[in-house]
A and B are shown apart, each in its own frame.
Chain A
């Protein structure tokens, strides 16, 4: 076999860099690109110079300096910050993940930056202003589950990003001081294709919105907030019948029969709608107006709309192509039966709880609803299901009906609840899931679970990448089974389980190939964490110690691989060991 030296010269003659770059631009997946960069130094260089999109799923795994040094020509960046459990208030607000240092580095090295997608990052108004001023070519902004900014920051984006095409503000902790930001888009500004401000609560200047929609002829996605009335929505639809994704505002108003007919014909001229959301306060009276727009609907998001079973049934009869459905549990098992009957092409179902903190009332959905969907929707592969009761037998039947699950997230809302019919643990349910669903990538478990459930997972879930565990397990062995058995595990989030230091240390060999591990309210000690940190220097082992509880205990632990070393911006409550 020829050595690298002698082949290198022939290689560079037969493959000039430009050709390699050209070839590599066809590699869209960053995983593929990561692989090619390992082949040899030439390929590594070709990749780094030609990579234009990077996705950093843990902002502390690498530093801005390292990133810009390796990839000098990036135009699109995705950054994810806080651990996912920060969405549920388990992470202190000052924990970190501030985007500003990144923006400063980008302003210096990526002046042509076009796209920024941030998830669970802290974004201040100053940062948004800095962004608006630093990148004249900036086109696409997406903020999901971020916090730290107010509508003032949005004003800066609207005012100065003259080439903006996407403005997507979703489910953030925004301080909504006023709706005037929308009026800051210049009259000469016409490039918008995506506008999503459903998350914001203030009333926006409707005239400004109307003019904006009117002049942005390429607008494909429009998701308005609740302050926009039905009558106002109608005006917008008349201006933008080309919409592909629509999020309505408030959907209840006193309409005359004549007005209703107008509304209906308005929806019927929207022939391209594939995704529909909002529909807050939608009543049975006005819902029929949207039926004409549902012929090509593939995604229906009713998770902010307290719909009943009959209304849902009616609506679904008009959605023959539905692939993804999000609902509130107000639809009940009866509503889910309607889903099973009307949606044979369904691939994804999410059922959210409408009143999750009400223990004493029978409400929501049960195993019956889930079963009904599984019988009618064999293509189902993604489910998120919040319920008050479940049985092992039901889950076993469900996965027999739908063996292709890639994402199975079941939340039995009362912690440690057994099978309500047999009173057994829910071990067999999740055993059935991992044995039958060989393609399973993501799993969230709940209910009463012993180590047996985790034995099953370790033994069968060979494609599992993300696992969320709460109030489960009987001993360290549970976590050990997962660490030793699941070769592809990337993210593990655990709360309120008995797992202790032995369990933590059983994953020693795994953590460097994982993105992160979160363990809170388990039985970890500082000594155990220190030992882990000592043995694995390329991991950051962070302990969050918020109150004056016992110093030897480690209540919240976050472990992640990094090439950037311990971070320098930890707040006082976070210790990197």
Chain B
């Protein structure tokens, strides 16, 4: 069984950080600074508050400096305006969705070079070919294991990155936490144990 070792740090060098910058709006849309015109008074008060006791699942804390980037949702107290009861219920549900036995197994899918992730429900698929076909349709690309095609990889429960297809499908759905569709040569380094009972 081949494993991808520390591919994350490997890959950082190749990452076009701007392209994967996390914000809403299409890639290439104007910088947010443009939105606040000269009528803005001096930033004596930042409009974002870091929510300390926030029970949201945010991980990063923004720098509280002069830039006028729209505050990321997770950092603004009481925004979006959803009642606490509903918010708490949603968060409990979103957490449990990651576990098998819930209504669905939702995992995030990222594709190298695409700025936005998608979410899919693994429970919907019965076998690898179905899953791969769905991914191909969703992202409009070809998945293959040779040449310059895209190759599907996943992060398992232990945090390791594996090539999709190396375990039986039902085992795969229980251990898959995240999918990443890689481009180019790196996945090929994983060896050729894949292919037999997977790709059509």
Please determine whether chains A and B interact with each other in the same assembly: yes
Closest to A305 in B: B103
Answer whether A171 and B86 are a contact pair too, CB < 8 Å, given A361-B119, A362-B117, A523-B41. Answer: yes
Question: Which chain B residues in 111-141 approach chain A with CB under 8 Å?
Answer: 116-119
A423 within 8 A of B: yes
A173 within 8 A of B: yes
B73 within 8 A of A: yes
The reply to whether B73 and A359 form a contact with Cβ atoms under 8 Å apart is yes
Chain A contacts of B84 at CB under 8 A?
A: 87-89, 173
Task: Please pick, from A88, A281, A306, the residue contacting B79 in the complex, using a CB distance under 8 A.
Answer: A88
The reply to whether B24 and A359 form a contact with Cβ atoms under 8 Å apart is yes
Answer whether A90 and B77 are a contact pair too, CB < 8 Å, given A283-B103, A359-B22, A423-B29. Answer: yes
Stretch from A367-375, A392-400, A408-416 contacting the other chain: A408-416
B40 within 8 A of A: yes
Interchain CA distance A171-B57 in the complex, whole Å: 22
Chain B contacts of A411 at CB under 8 A?
A: 80-81
Stretch from A233-241, A340-348, A468-476 contacting the other chain: A468-476
A484 within 8 A of B: no
The reply to whether B117 and A361 form a contact with Cβ atoms under 8 Å apart is yes
Stretch from B89-97, B151-159, B168-176 contacting the other chain: B89-97
The reply to whether A420 and B29 form a contact with Cβ atoms under 8 Å apart is yes
A350 to chain B, nearest CB (A): 11
The reply to whether A414 and B45 form a contact with Cβ atoms under 8 Å apart is no
The reply to whether A420 and B26 form a contact with Cβ atoms under 8 Å apart is yes
B122 to chain A, nearest CB (A): 14
Interchain CA distance A270-B26 in the complex, whole Å: 49
Closest to A414 in B: B24
Stretch from B5-13, B31-39, B181-189 contacting the other chain: B31-39
The reply to whether B41 and A498 form a contact with Cβ atoms under 8 Å apart is yes
A260 within 8 A of B: no
Chain B contacts of A498 at CB under 8 A?
A: 39-41
Task: Please pick, from B76, B90, B116, the residue contacting A354 in the complex, using a CB distance under 8 A.
Answer: B90
A441 within 8 A of B: no
The reply to whether B82 and A88 form a contact with Cβ atoms under 8 Å apart is yes
Interchain CA distance A199-B35 in the complex, whole Å: 41
The reply to whether A553 and B45 form a contact with Cβ atoms under 8 Å apart is yes
Closest to B78 in A: A88
Answer whether A306 and B93 are a contact pair too, CB < 8 Å, given A386-B80, A470-B79. Answer: yes
Interchain CA distance A550-B138 in the complex, whole Å: 51
A142 within 8 A of B: no
Answer whether A415 and B90 are a contact pair too, CB < 8 Å, given A88-B78, A281-B102, A470-B79. Answer: no
Chain B 52-85 near chain A by CB (<8 Å), digits 1 or 0: 0000111000000000001111101111111111
Chain B contacts of A360 at CB under 8 A?
A: 22, 116-117
B144 within 8 A of A: no
The total of chain B residues at the interface (CB under 8 A) is 51
B199 within 8 A of A: no
Closest to A409 in B: B81
Chain A contacts of B90 at CB under 8 A?
A: 353-356
Interchain CA distance A352-B24 in the complex, whole Å: 18
The reply to whether B82 and A353 form a contact with Cβ atoms under 8 Å apart is yes
B14 within 8 A of A: no
The reply to whether B80 and A356 form a contact with Cβ atoms under 8 Å apart is yes
Interchain CA distance A233-B78 in the complex, whole Å: 35
Interchain CA distance A416-B108 in the complex, whole Å: 26
Interchain CA distance A556-B100 in the complex, whole Å: 44
Closest to A306 in B: B103
A363 within 8 A of B: yes
The reply to whether B89 and A304 form a contact with Cβ atoms under 8 Å apart is yes
The reply to whether A87 and B83 form a contact with Cβ atoms under 8 Å apart is yes
Task: Please pick, from A90, A359, A471, A521, the residue contacting B74 in the complex, using a CB distance under 8 A.
Answer: A359
Task: Please pick, from B71, B87, B104, the residue contacting A415 in the complex, using a CB distance under 8 A.
Answer: B71
Answer whether A417 and B80 are a contact pair too, CB < 8 Å, given A359-B73, A471-B47, A474-B37. Answer: no
Task: Please pick, from A252, A352, A356, A362, the residue contacting B118 in the complex, using a CB distance under 8 A.
Answer: A362
Answer whether A414 and B73 are a contact pair too, CB < 8 Å, given A353-B82, A521-B47, A523-B41. Answer: yes
The reply to whether B58 and A357 form a contact with Cβ atoms under 8 Å apart is yes
B35 to chain A, nearest CB (A): 6
Looking at B44, B47, B57, the one whose CB has the most chain A CB atoms below 10 A away is B47
Looking at A145, A283, A417, A420, the one whose CB has the most chain B CB atoms below 10 A away is A417
Interchain CA distance A389-B24 in the complex, whole Å: 8
Interchain CA distance A56-B175 in the complex, whole Å: 55
The reply to whether A357 and B85 form a contact with Cβ atoms under 8 Å apart is no
B154 to chain A, nearest CB (A): 17
Interchain CA distance A173-B25 in the complex, whole Å: 36
A249 within 8 A of B: no
Closest to B103 in A: A281
Closest to B26 in A: A420
Answer whether A359 and B23 are a contact pair too, CB < 8 Å, given A353-B80, A415-B70, A420-B29. Answer: yes
A496 within 8 A of B: yes
A265 within 8 A of B: no
A557 to chain B, nearest CB (A): 13
Given A359-B23, A423-B29, A498-B39, list of 8 further CB < 8 A pairs?
A87-B81, A171-B86, A354-B90, A356-B82, A362-B116, A470-B81, A474-B39, A523-B45
List 15 contacting pairs A-B, 8 Å CB cutoff, sorted by A: A85-B78, A88-B78, A88-B83, A172-B85, A355-B90, A359-B22, A359-B73, A360-B117, A361-B108, A361-B117, A386-B82, A420-B29, A468-B81, A474-B37, A521-B49
Q: Chain A: residues with CB nearer than 8 A to chain B?
A: 85, 87-90, 145, 171-173, 199, 252, 281-283, 303-304, 306, 352-357, 359-363, 386, 388-389, 411, 413-418, 420, 423, 448, 468, 470-471, 474-475, 495-496, 498, 500, 521, 523, 553, 555
Q: Chain B: residues with CB nearer than 8 A to chain A?
A: 22-26, 29-30, 32, 35, 37, 39-41, 44-45, 47, 49, 51, 56-58, 70-74, 76-87, 89-90, 93-94, 97, 102-104, 108, 116-119
